[in-house]
Structure formats: structure tokens, C-alpha cells
Amino acid sequence: MSNRLAGKVALVTAAGQGIGRAIAQIFADAGAAVIATDLDRGKLDGLRAKLHKLDVRSQDDIDALGKQIAREFSSLDVLVNCAGYVHQGSVLDCTDEDWDFSFDLNVKSMHRMIKTFLPAMLEKKTGSILNIASAVSSIRGVPNRYVYGATKAAVIGLTKAVAADFIQQGIRCNAICPGTIESPSLYERITAVSQDTGRPLDAVRNDFVARQPMGRLGRPEEVAWLALFLASDEASYITGHVHLVDGGMAL
């Protein structure tokens, strides 16, 4: 793994925990200069990276970070859009506010980040953009993931559109679609379902495990290994694709 990203500058959103943190750590181990961002700056402590508080729902925040990166690095080589939110419920549980928030955080934030950082990539004629989507999307429907699945399907569409528009200008754009991954956010959902239904935490967790054909949850680093490959020059002929790391969930 050593030096696979040597000389590259990578920005990772939502790097404070879970998949985002694992990606930031592995990128740093591979020699990248990592810019790690999160809405909660304190969650970034311990990462070997430049640490920034960032609200990906704020264009002003993104513009300010973009100017700082332009001064320090000129441009990014890798952009990883990892920020997201999982809404629990069906269409009957989804208010207009739930819909708008989910699409703003899960989809429009990626639009904001790409629109801000793509021009400098185009000037350099190289760049890899990775968008974290999900197996729960246009790939597979799962109960009580109505608006979440809709947003992640939109991420897949966004990814393909960016890849198609800039394929001849040195830009690659791919989507990573995890299955159910061990993370703090997963345990927040398990706790919420347990509280809503009155079922024990272990029983709710077992439901999440049961939908994984491998019989276990994925680990954040298993998603990060795929991100490392797609960010590296080893994946220079790969763009516009959906890459599952889901333990067979989509079978």
C-alpha cells in the first residue's frame, strides 16, 4: 500500500467517523496529503491530515475551503464525497422537510463539492471523484429506506453524468455502494429502531446482519480499500461505474 497515492492531494468529507474516517486514514497511509473535513471538527482528532470543520450544506463554507486549498495545493487530485444521512421510514413517514434535508445533504452537497473543486482538476487535466452511494438505491429496495434509497439512486445518476461529461478531460468519477457497515451511524439507527419498536438492541442488530448474505456486517476499512484503488492510478481506465462492496447484499 505504501506510496500508492504519493504526491496526490485528497479531500474527504464526513471524515470524523465510519467510512469517511477509514478512507482518510488509508489515504494518508498510502502517501496522500489528506484534507479531512467534518461538521464536528472534534471528531477529526487523531487523523494524519489537515483538519477542517465543513458544513457541506453551506456553499459559503465550501467556497472558503476551496480558496484555502487553492492557496496551499493549487488543486485536488482526489475528491471523496462521503457525507450523508439515513432517514428511517416509508413514504408515509417522510415529510417534505425530511425529503428536502435528505436530498440536500446526500445529493446536493456532492453537487456543491464537485462544482467547486472540478474546475481546478480540469485545468490540470486529471482527477478522481468518488461518491459514496449505497446498495440501497437503484440497485436494491429495502424496507423503511424510502427517501434514503431515492437519494442514493440520484447519487448514482449524478456520478454517471459527471463521468460522461468529462471523460475526455482527464476526470474519472465513480460511485461506491456499501452494504451494511459497522459504524457509529449504524448503531444510532439500531438504537432508534429499538426505541421505536421496543425490541432489544441485539434483536434489531441481528436484523441488519440477516440481510447480509455473508452473515456479517462490513467493516469501514473494507470500503476504504476499494476507495484507495479507485483513487489511485491503478484505476486509470475505470470511470462512470457503480462499485459494490456489500457482502452480496445486491444478489
Residue 80: strand, helix, or coil: strand
Residue that has been written with the C-alpha cell 482526489 in this structure: 78
Which of 219, 187, 182, 184 shows the shortest CA–CA distance to 204? 187
Assessment of whether the complete model's pTM goes beyond 0.85: yes
Contact by Cβ (8 Å): 12, 43: no
Number of H helices, E strands in the chain: 8, 7
Checking phi first, is residue 141 left (phi over 0); if not, alpha (psi -120 to 50) or beta?
A: beta
Q: Answer yes or no: 148 catalytic.
A: yes
Q: How far is CA 19 from the centre of its chain?
A: 7
Compute the distance between CA of residue 91 and CA of residue 159 in angstroms, rounded to an integer: 25
Q: Identify the bridge partners of residue 136 per DSSP, sorted by sequence position.
A: 140
Residues whose CB falls within 8 Å of the CB of residue 138, separated by 6 or more in sequence, listed in order: 152, 153, 156, 157
Choose, from 85, 148, 187, 237, the residue flagged as catalytic. Answer: 148
Classified as helix, coil or strand, 94 is: coil
Q: Which residues contact 196 (CB under 8 A, 6 or more apart)?
A: 88
Domain ranges of the chain: 9-181+219-245, 183-217
Cβ-contact 1, 225 below 8 angstroms = no
- Return d(Cα 51, Cα 38) in angstroms, integer: 8
CATH code reported for the domain at 9-181+219-245: 3.40.50.720
Round to whole Å and give the CA distance between 133 and 142. Answer: 14
Per-residue pLDDT of the chain (251 residues; tens, 9 = 90+): 579 999 999 999 999 999 999 999 999 999 999 999 999 999 999 999 999 999 999 999 999 999 999 999 999 999 999 999 999 999 999 999 999 999 999 999 999 999 999 999 999 999 999 999 999 999 999 999 999 999 999 999 999 999 999 999 999 999 999 999 988 888 787 887 888 888 888 888 988 888 889 999 999 999 999 999 999 999 999 999 999 999 999 99
